[in-house]
Structure 1
Amino acid sequence: MGLISEVLLLPFAPVRGSAWAIGQVLHEAERIYYDPATIRAELARLEERLEAGEISEEEFDREEDELLDRLEIASRNRAGTGNGTTP
Structure 2
Amino acid sequence: MGLVTGILTLPFAPVRGIGWVLEKVVRTAEDEFYDPAPVQEGLVQLERARNEGRIGEEEFTRREEELLHRLEEIRAYQLRRGGQSGL
What band does the TM-score fall into relative to the shorter chain? 0.5 to 0.7
TM-score by length of 2: 0.57
State the number of aligned residues: 72
Q: TM-score, normalised by structure 1?
A: 0.57
Gaps of 5+ in 1: 52-56
Change in Cα spacing, 1:73 to 1:79, as seen in structure 2 (3 Å) is same
Q: What is residue 32 of structure 2 aligned with on the other side?
A: 32
Asked whether the equivalents of residues 32 and 38 of structure 1 are also in contact (C-alpha less than 8 Å), the reply is no
Tell me how far apart the structure 2 counterparts of residues 20 and 82 of structure 1 sit (CA, whole Å).
21
Identity of aligned residues (%): 43
Structure 2 counterpart of 1:16 = 16
CA contact (8 A) 2:36 2:74 kept: yes
The unaligned stretches of length 5 or more in structure 2 are none
Instruction: Give how far 1:41 is off.
Output: 4.5
